[in-house]
Structure 1
Amino acid sequence: MRSVSDDLTARARIRDAAIQSFARDGFDATSMRAIAKDAGVSAALIVHHFGDKNALRDACDEYVVAAFIDDKHELIEAPTADRIRAALHDIERYGPYIDYLGRMLGDSSPAANRLFDKLIDVTRETLDQQRAAGLLVEMSDPEMTTMLIAMMGLAPVMMRAQISRVLGEDQLSPAGMMRTTLPTLELVTHGIYSTSVFLDGAREALSGEQAATQKVEAAEEGAPS
């Protein structure tokens, strides 16, 4: 007879095997039989614990998301609130979870949306603190800037394989992160243009567009019904 601890151990093995398989091959290309083989269990035991593949993916989603946003989790014991950064310091160990995040964020599952919202919140809080400390310039649209900064941080996670192929090294490795640091800070500190002509032109064009829109709206409001 299986004990409760045996069941818990098997459930964890199945979940971990599924996370690695989904991260490596994608959800559609991964079979329950392949997960069972990697976990050293029968496919029937997966059904016993999770029901079906969709339910198993939901469990994997929640486990991985919790690892990066919950303070107490068995996967990552982060010394700081930045749990993803802590994981990146040990990419060899946590690589499958990072890759799983990349696949998750390409979907619209509730867990992926919860993770994305949390990442936006953390980015917003960081920028608010830096703004209060006088470290930021004035922004025309702080919320959109928050979104762009968060997207810059997510790009290496979501496009890890493509970026690594172009750079010739894993950007999430220690060497890759060192290579990324100065160009990233140069970009957000000084930008890349030596002139404001493009910014000035965009401001003028958008201002004209806004004025034209307001004129049309005013005309429509004044027209007899």
Structure 2
Amino acid sequence: MPDPDDLTARARIRQAALTQFADVGFQKATIRSIAAEAGVSPGLLRHHFGSKEALRDAVDAYVMDEIRRTNDDVTAASATGTFGASVDREALRPFQRYLARALLDGSSTIATMFDQLAAMTTQWVAAADETRTDRPGTDTHTRGALYTAMVLGIPLLHEHLSRVLGVDILSDDGDRRVALAMLEIYSHPLISTELAEQARAALYPDPPSRSAR
């Protein structure tokens, strides 16, 4: 059985790496600085993870596991009408910052993470399509990928959004403001389905056959 102290140290190292990779990026973060933040020696960090690259892989896996867990919780809660109580947005903020930095830095692992996020979002789009009264004009994969890009754009543009809104969007007040605005956007489309049909017809007079999936 693993030593509980080792498990605690491993978790501290992983959390410190997540924070530093998000704050300064993978290239600038060092084994020594991560170990110092975790309160361990560089040797113990290497004992647990071997290298900075392997540590990043562990952080990537942790971030995606937590996002999947949240996604599963929200999916289950939405089926029982307890959607709002199922999301711990404060707990998600470090992951938002981590993903934004990985996108900004062009991390070698961000492509895989984006693909996984897009796949999860596509499942939500497909489920939403089941209750639509009109027939979707584009496939779920395309819409899922675009939703993912738009959501990730919020933390990626953290500095600019915070300046325009006059509040740090990753603070409690800023996050609440963004969350409420996003709910408003999702629940009240900017244009009607009729106007969308007119625009679609004008842009593509002879579109390919439309599919609901």
The equivalences for 1:200-211 within 5 A come to 200-203=201-204
Structure 1 residues 122, 86: CA separation in 2 closer, same or farther (over 3 Å shift)?
Answer: farther
Alpha-carbon contact 1:79-1:86 (below 8 Å) kept: no
C-alpha separation in 2, matches of 1:78 and 1:129 = 14
User: Is the CA contact 1:20–1:97 (under 8 Å) kept in the aligned structure 2?
Assistant: no
Structure 2: gaps spanning 5 or more residues = 78-83, 207-213
CA distance in 2, matches of 1:102, 1:88: 20
What does the per-residue CA deviation read over 1:152-181, in whole Å, with 9 as the maximum and x for residues that have no partner?
222213333332222223446112211333
What is the letter of the counterpart of residue 26 of structure 1?
G
Matched with 1:81 is: 75
Q: State the Cα distance separating 1:30 from its structure 2 match.
A: 1.1
Q: Which amino acid aligns with 2:182?
A: T
Q: TM-score, normalised by structure 1?
A: 0.69
* Counterpart Cα distance in 1 of 2:140 and 2:63: 29
Normalising by structure 2, what TM-score?
A: 0.72
CA distance in 2, matches of 1:197, 1:56: 51
Q: Relative to 1, partners in 2 of residues 1:77 and 1:126: Cα closer, same or farther, differing over 3 Å?
A: closer
Query: Helix, strand or coil for the counterpart of 2:204?
Result: helix
- 5+ residue gaps, structure 1: 208-225
Higher relative contact order (CA 8 A, sep 6+): 2
1:54 matched to 2:53? The reply is yes
Q: What residue in structure 1 maps to residue 101 of structure 2?
A: 103
Residue of structure 2 equivalent to 1:155: 153
**Quick one: distance in 2 between partners of 1:86 and 1:104?**
29
Root-mean-square deviation (Å): 3.6
Q: 2:182 maps to what in 1?
A: 180
* 3-state SS of 2:74 partner: coil
Q: Kindly, what percent of the aligned residue pairs are identical?
A: 31
Contact 2:125/2:143 (CA < 8 Å) preserved in 1?
Answer: no
Residue 210 of structure 1 aligns with which residue? none
8 Å CA contact 1:169–1:176 kept in 2: the answer is no
Structure 1 residue identity aligned to 2:152: L
Correspondence 1:39 to 2:44: no
Residue identity in the other structure for 2:9: A
Q: Which residue of 2 aligns with 1:23?
A: 22
Say whether 1:134 aligns with 2:132.
yes
Structure label with greater radius of gyration: 1
